Structure 1
Amino acid sequence: MNKKTQTYNKILTSAWLLFLEQGYAHTSTREIAKAANVAVGTVFSHFENKIDLLKAGMQQQIDTIIHQASLTDRQHAPRLKLRHYALPLFEFYCNNIEFSKILISDMIWQADFFEQQMSEFKKRLFDEQQEFDDIKANVMLDCYFMTIISGLNEPAPEPEKMLRQLTSKISIL
């Protein structure tokens, strides 16, 4: 791993730990730089702003969750695959409500940042036995994201309740 990648990872890890410890709003880029043992300018040479640090940290966590869930994915139908991945993701979003709301809000207005991840996830829902259906994949992800938004707006979000709602929505597909 080259030095630039090591520095990037050190900044990202430090930021994520501080976000968890202090919350996003209460963490400054100066604190992140200090925790990573780099200059503030170095943080900004790797990440344009603090929200980009949060997005990268969230994406790293989500990628890990998806990878772990893929190890036990034995489903063939796209809607069942979505359910399989949804529960651990819903649990993560509910355990990180502050970050999740920021991420979802940013995702709505910065869709291009998430385009590659969304495309890969949609393709994951269709295995070699299922022909990829872009419209169906888009509708399923719309249901998934609307479930996240409504679930995170509950006073006490419940991943299992969110999964039941998603299941009801996608059962018509």
Structure 2
Amino acid sequence: MNKKEKTYNKILTSAWLLFLEQGYEQTSTREIAKAANVAVGTVFSHFENKIDILKAGMQQQINVIIHQSSLTDTQHAPRLKLRHYALALFEFYCNNKEFSKILISDMIWQTTFFEQQLNEFKQRLFSEQPEFDDIKATVMLDCYFMTVISGLNEQNPQPEKMLRQLTNKLSVI
């Protein structure tokens, strides 16, 4: 890992810890720079703004969850695979409700940031199928994201309830 990558990771780790401790809105880029032991300008040389730091942190956390879930993935059907990954992701979103709502809100209007991650996830869902069905995969993820949005709008979001809602939606596909 080169110096630039180390600095990027140090900023991202420091920011994530501050976001968890203080909340996203209450954390300034100046505080992130101080915690990472870098200049504020260095933070902005790696990230355009604070929301980009949050998106990168969320993306990193989601990648870890997907990897960990892949270790126990024994499902063959795409809808069952989605349910398998969804529960762990729903738990993460519910435990990080503030960040998740910000992320989903930003993602709606800037899908290109997560496009590669979404495409890889769609491929994962169909990894054991003879053919990849992009339309079906897209509809499944639409159901997934609408479930995330409706679940996070609850006063007390519950991953198991969200999973039941997703299961019901997927049963009609």
The TM-score bracket by the shorter chain reads over 0.9
Counterpart-to-counterpart distance in 1, 2:134 and 2:78: 11
- Pairwise CA distance, 1:129: 3.2
Runs of 4+ in 1 over 2 A off after TM superposition: none
> 1:24 maps to which residue?
24
1:35: which partner in 2? 35
Following superposition, the deviation at residue 140 of structure 1 comes to: 0.2
Q: Which residue of 2 aligns with 1:96?
A: 96
Which residue type is aligned with residue 166 of structure 2?
L
Q: Whole-Å Cα distance in 2 between the matches of residues 137 and 62 of structure 1?
A: 19
State whether residues 18 and 32 of structure 1, in contact with CA within 8 Å, keep that contact through their aligned partners in structure 2. Answer: yes
Equivalent residue number for residue 156 of structure 1: 156
Find out whether 1:171 has 2:171 as its counterpart.
yes
Tell me the number of residue pairs that the alignment of Structure 1 and Structure 2 aligns.
173
Letter in 2 for 1:15: A
Deviation at 1:128, TM superposition (A): 3.5
Aligned to 2:6: 6
Name the SS for the 1:60 alignment partner: helix
Partners of 1:82 and 1:125 within 8 A in 2: yes
8 Å CA contact 2:77, 2:128 repeated in 1: no
Q: List runs of 5+ in structure 1 lacking aligned partners.
A: none
Alignment of 1:85 with 2:89, yes or no, is no
Distance 2:145 2:122 in 1: 13
CA distance in 2, matches of 1:133, 1:172: 16
Q: RMSD across aligned C-alpha pairs, in angstroms?
A: 0.6
